[in-house]
Structure 1
């Protein structure tokens, strides 16, 4: 009986040992598939857009940043050390963004500018009152009316002029032999604005002019002083509110004082194009450079001129330099205060050129983001002229450097940028 029990115990132990080995073998065979399953379940997401989930590494379809494992572990082959991640974000940035290299070349520089058309002040002619009096009859009925030399513009009654005519007639009648007195009386009338033909008519008829006709000495368009101040004769700008139907400031029955400006006569055949040039391009600006001007109002018309004058001062509140281009308007199709676009041919400039988007203007300085290994580091540069979408870099980077294509993308709007001279810019 004991022998039988011993045999049963041995059989039980053997079966148990066999089951342990068998189950262990099965477990080892199934374990790799479990690991592989876990590996296949690894997801990649965007740090900025967690709603993006991919089963493979790549770039975020929204912002372009490199996807990372959702588990938070570092991506394989990223090459980013802990020290790199812990560097201050004010001077270096880790990002996945397009890079460019400065291009060394000689470029044809074309300075772009915008401006407006204005009257050529060299053609301004004032009609002023030579004596005090009252406007009896006005022949100019509206602003910008065209007149010609010798055309009658108004009749004026003046006690001073009437007295001078009477003095001449008195001397002629009572002292015909006093040539000196007669010539002095004639000269006084001529200086007051009476024409020789009018004076001869007074001597011939023996009658004075109660109201004296005044004639224009110039050709052009008439502007009275009200419209001159409102609409582009003295301080014209595109934003000026010119009201063409505003009545003339001078009316019949009004009194004028000696020396008072009554009308401006402006020649409409000659205009100026006032072009505003950015400060960064002023160094390349020279007299007599070719200028091509286009007008949005006249898309089929192109004007060609040259830089005739560079204004030596800046307008209040405007840091741009103004230049003048003289334009002929013989066809009368150009209107004062029209907006114009100008392209100024400034010759060729050699140097390093980068896209405008790669340079960030901080006000007192300009910076680029220089690629250093796996990160971008801020670098201060000295920028020259701008030619279209390119900027000339004078100092700060080399031809072999790699720069971030979009400098604004790497700037934290709530932080600051720290450059080498330890200055901080918000």
Structure 2
């Protein structure tokens, strides 16, 4: 009986073992299939949308890679999503992810014809009030001598006809008076000699009453007065007390400001839109609620090759003395011919990247994917907030109108053609700032006095304020022009003249991009001069942005060691470094 129990226990154990084996291994096929499905789900999952796998980089410093958005630790620019290389794209094309497009707020627009433009052919011009050269008069000395007293000695002073301007000591006039007294005693016997002496004094603008007073008193005047021949406002003092002046040398420039000129810069592409007698509406910051009507009185026949502009001038009545020379004004002119034809393509100004030589836009080539192609276009007039495209775009094409710079930065990051990269090897910047020069002490002192205005102009570039840039560039130019350069050598003269030329180009241009292009060349010359100053009152830092001037690098001077980039402003405020200190 015990044996039977043992057999029963063994049988039960075998059954239980078989059942457990079936439960464990018999369902393995199902588990395997389930695990395979889970693996496939994981492998096929799209990680593009996961921010955990997205890396962020700087468009100007691609070596920066961070797992989350933020600021570039080198230049301070906003980081952008790092893109993987796209296959099957042309050299001019780049591809971005939908996530990157959304984060950068990139917007596109299908370009249309000029019929949709709301500018109505009105061209906006920027300019300044200037004195009417036709009303300018030079008050000169009519004889040689030394200015003993200058009664009118500052700009803006009002003078009236017959007013005493200056008192001059003139040895030649003293001799002529003595001749008059001698000839007066012989006028009965030698009337021709007597009349010749009197005519000589008349030619020196000595009045009949003054001649008669000398003759009747029998005394010679040592200091002779000079009187104003016209009434007006002093716009320039051209001599100082104690100066020795030659016959005909200017003392003052006087202008009648009863009417003034409004001078505007018109770009080469829009010259055909202007003609004499055309109506122009003028506004100014000083009187923002007033509009002044005038007509175009002059169009300069010579093009300014530095700025590619011509001067368009209108004459304004200024009897109420509202307009001050130097005041900024804006003029609006309706073009003489339709500025937009049915075949013309107009694009928003925000879509255009302008390098100084090329105008670029980004075209979306694939309607279903964010693929963009860089395209060079030729522009005509700017009407309000739109440009007319002469060539490079067709009606119906889709272009980037917001976030253009971000797309360009992504193209540069991917090594594609971009605004900064034309596919050509950049030439090295000329080492002009490394040249040694010999500057006279007097020139060095005068040059240092011009630096404060230069620093203000640099700060205006940092703030991206084109109006202030122009104003401080003019002040710097005027101070440099007052320096004596007769003792400078040929190389020093070349740097000095080029600095003046670039400052004038900045003054006459109201586009910040153009001003910054001239600022690059200005600094190549200004830094070269500054580095040859024997001593300075406080340290001057020579700073450099390696990204400026199409990645060639550009210099500037600063009194602050901290970098405040004048070539990019807020876009790359801290991009750059101090490369030298002038003690």
Which range moved further: 211-220 or 282-291?
282-291
Rg larger in structure: 1
Which range moved further: 145-154 or 275-284?
275-284
1:349 aligns with 2:339: yes
In structure 2, the CA distance between the partners of 1:362 and 1:339, relative to structure 1 (3 Å rule), is closer
CA distance in 1, matches of 2:22, 2:325: 102
Indicate the residue corresponding to 1:180 in structure 2: 192
SS at match of 1:262: strand
Indicate the residue corresponding to 1:272 in structure 2: 261
In structure 2, the CA distance between the partners of 1:223 and 1:410, relative to structure 1 (3 Å rule), is closer
1:149 aligns with 2:148: no
Task: Work out which structure has the larger RCO, using CA pairs closer than 8 Å and 6 or more positions apart in sequence.
Answer: 1
CA distance in 1, matches of 2:153, 2:273: 48
TM-score (norm 2): 0.53
CA distance in 2, matches of 1:224, 1:367: 45
Indicate the residue corresponding to 1:105 in structure 2: 114
Aligned residue among 377, 385, 393 for 1:381: 377
**Structure 2: any 5+ residue segments left out of the alignment?**
57-66, 70-78, 102-106, 426-549, 551-583
CA distance in 1, matches of 2:55, 2:416: 20
CA distance in 2, matches of 1:224, 1:379: 51
Indicate the residue corresponding to 1:236 in structure 2: none
1:366 aligns with 2:359: yes
CA distance in 1, matches of 2:205, 2:227: 10
Task: Say which structure is richer in helix.
Answer: 2
1:263 aligns with 2:263: no
Indicate the residue corresponding to 1:45 in structure 2: 50
In structure 2, the CA distance between the partners of 1:273 and 1:217, relative to structure 1 (3 Å rule), is same
After superposition, the CA RMSD in angstroms is 4.5
Shift of 1:219: 0.6
Task: Say which structure is richer in strand.
Answer: 1
Indicate the residue corresponding to 1:417 in structure 2: 417
SS at match of 1:308: strand
CA distance in 2, matches of 1:321, 1:416: 37
1:304 aligns with 2:293: yes
SS at match of 1:140: coil
SS at match of 1:417: coil
1:144-175 Cα shifts (integer Å, max 9, x gaps): 32111122223334332233333334334324
Shift of 1:215: 1.7
In structure 2, the CA distance between the partners of 1:138 and 1:51, relative to structure 1 (3 Å rule), is closer
CA distance in 2, matches of 1:277, 1:302: 20
1:85-117 Cα shifts (integer Å, max 9, x gaps): 412463212234533222112442333333333
**Structure 1: any 5+ residue segments left out of the alignment?**
53-61, 67-71, 73-83, 227-248
Shift of 1:218: 0.6
- Conserved 8 A contact 1:101-1:354: no
Aligned length: 374
- Conserved 8 A contact 2:186-2:194: no
In structure 2, the CA distance between the partners of 1:143 and 1:92, relative to structure 1 (3 Å rule), is closer
The 5 Å alignment of 1:53-68 reads: none
In structure 2, the CA distance between the partners of 1:148 and 1:410, relative to structure 1 (3 Å rule), is same
Which range moved further: 293-302 or 32-41?
32-41
Aligned residue among 205, 225, 229 for 1:213: 225
CA distance in 2, matches of 1:390, 1:30: 64
